[in-house]
Amino acid sequence: MTTTPSSTYSRRTYRLAVGCLFFLLGLCFASWGSRIPSIQEKLHLSEAALGGVLFSLPVGLMMSLPFAGWLIPKIGSRNAITAGLLFYSLVLVSIGLAQNTWQLVVALFFFGFGSNLSNIAVNTQAVGVENMYKKSIMASFHGLWSLAGFTGAAIGTFMIGSNVIPFHHFLLILAVTVVGVAVCFRYVLPADDKPQEKQPLFVMPDRSLIVLGMIAFCSLICEGAMFDWSGIYFQKVVGAEKAWVAAGYTAFMSTMAGTRFIADWLTTKLGLRKVLIFSGLLTAGGLTIAVLFPYLATAILGFLLVGMGVSAVVPLVYGEAGRSKTMSPSTALAAVTTIGFAGFLVGPPLIGLVAGLSSLRLSFALIAVMGITVAVLSSRARMD
């Protein structure tokens, strides 16, 4: 009940350790997201220029795909997540040091690279722990990632209010990450399920994994928009006072984190397909409300619904991918995670470019279509 033949500690210990790594990963990303307006102001970037700079993130992510898919089965997700998180937090500090646009572009490229490597490795760990429980617990791990996002946003708000520069802010996050990784290392799973000693640099995913990746891609476009543009949307479209600029982001993170802790239970009751379809419709509905009624109360309501909508999609899709019958968990996750997380990173720069050509409201209206696409793809995918 508490251990498996290949494990040393109880399954609860492994779950806590892996959950801590999810939290640290989310804290690093949220710390960057919370300081985007500060960095935009520091480097005097317009919305269109910021959108162009943000494209370096998905480029780094895509470049990491063959590397992560090859490395993780070779050295194991335990070593990969340790190295990946330390690298990720170090690059975060370099973002705070950027003095011009090109330095920021380079830093964000490596930030995207490190995020994908860490994301695949930690989700491989989560699949292994989920198999020990023999039931869906993936959403709870991602709930901790979301909780870290909420925590990171709160810390970022405090840092901005205290006039702390991003570099010093990010140094604090680096210190927390180093301590967390040092404590958790011995308590994560030492070996992955279905290990493969020889792994090609690229493996073409089958049709079912591609569909799962596209569902995650569409949902993560919406999620990425909330992370990078919610504050700017409230500032420039809603016209919120300074004290309320972060309200939309806070509302989104609150419901996303909270819903993820009940998503596993809902999936057991309703089934994977129904939960994904409803999630897509909630996302589209929330964004539509925020676009059609750009006032403080209605925009907050819309962002609350978006948080509920995107909450379950990614963890449930990743959990399904990790149970692939044709690939090892890390290889399947490398394919699905990279397709999906590309949306998380491609979405924000696309919003900036569309906003520069038209308006931020139109950008968010186009993102709402992604929620509908999640519902459509989920209705046709083979699952359950």
**pLDDT tens digits for range 110-149:** 999 999 899 889 988 998 898 888 888 888 898 898 889 8
Q: Residue 244 pLDDT > 60, yes or no?
A: yes
From CA 327, how far away is CA 53, in angstroms rounded?
A: 35
Statement: residue 342 has pLDDT above 90: no
Task: Tell me the C-alpha distance between 68 and 161, whole Å.
Answer: 38
Which of 192-201, 226-235, 247-256, 317-326 has the weakest average pLDDT?
192-201
| Contact (CB, 8 A) for 264 and 140 | yes
Q: Is position 84 within any domain?
A: yes
Number of domains in the chain: 1
Task: Give residue 194's pLDDT.
Answer: 55
Residue 23's nearest CA partner among 156, 120, 93, 122 is 122
Q: What is the pLDDT of residue 39?
A: 92
Q: Is the pLDDT of residue 297 over 90?
A: yes
Widest pairwise Cα distance in the chain: 59
> Shortest CA distance to 184 belongs to which of 55, 258, 85?
85
Q: Do the domain assignments include residue 235?
A: yes
The answer, yes or no, to whether residue 173 has pLDDT greater than 50, is yes
Q: What is the spatial distance between Cα 82 and Cα 77, in angstroms, rounded to a whole number?
A: 8
Least confident of 47-51, 83-87, 233-237, 306-310: 47-51
CATH of the domain at 153: 1.20.1250.20
Compute how many other C-beta atoms are within 10 angstroms of the C-beta atom of residue 297: 10
| pLDDT tier, 164 (very low <50, low <70, confident <90, very high otherwise) | very high
Whole-number pLDDT of residue 111: 95
Give the tens place of pLDDT for each residue, 259-268: 999 998 898 8
More confident site: 377 or 50? 377
What are the tokens at 365?
């209206």
pLDDT, greater one: 58 or 115: 115
Each residue's pLDDT tens digit, 92-103: 999 999 999 999
Nearest CA among 240, 258, 268, 330 for reference residue 134:
268
Query: Which amino acid is it at 159?
Result: M
* Res 235 pLDDT > 80: yes
Domain assignment of residue 277, yes or no? yes
Burial class (CB in 10 A: 0-12, 13-18, 19+), 9: middle
Determine the pLDDT at residue 200.
53
Task: Of 198, 193, 182, give the one whose Cα is nearest residue 81.
Answer: 182
Place of tokens 């939290």: 23
Domain that holds residue 306: 11-380
Predicted confidence at residue 193, as pLDDT, reads 60
pLDDT band at 1 (very low <50, low <70, confident <90, very high): very low
Output the pLDDT for position 86: 96
| Measured distance between the N- and C-terminal CA atoms of the chain, rounded to whole angstroms | 26
CA separation for the pair 26, 115 (Å, rounded) = 10
Which helix (H) or strand (E) element contains residue 116?
A: helix 101-133
The whole-chain average pLDDT of the chain stands at 87
pLDDT of residue 195 exceeding 50, the answer is no
109 domain residue, yes or no: yes
Residue 197 lies in a domain: yes
Higher local confidence (pLDDT), 24 or 330: 24
pLDDT at 199 over 60: no
Secondary-structure breakdown of the chain: helix, strand, coil percentages, each rounded to the nearest 5: 80, 0, 20
Average pLDDT over every residue of 309-315: 92
- At 5 the pLDDT is 43
Query: Where residue 384 falls among pLDDT bands split at 50, 70, 90?
Result: low
Q: Which of 166, 195, 168 is nearest to 39 (CA)?
A: 166
The helix-helix angle for 138-161 and 247-270 (nearest 10°) equals 170
H-type helices in 185-271, by residue range? 207-236, 247-270
Residue 1 falls inside a structural domain = no
pLDDT for the residue numbered 378: 93
**pLDDT average, residue stretch 193-205:** 55
- 171 in any annotated domain: yes
Asked whether residue 216 is domain-assigned, the answer is yes
Among 69-78, 272-281, 337-346, 353-362, the minimum mean pLDDT is found in 337-346
Cα–Cα distance measured from residue 335 to residue 140, given in angstroms and rounded to the nearest whole number: 22
Q: How many alpha carbons lie under 13 Å from residue 333 in its C-beta half-sphere? A: 32
State which amino acid sits at residue 205.
Answer: P
pTM of the model: 0.78
Torsion-angle region of residue 147: left (phi > 0), alpha (psi -120 to 50) or beta?
alpha
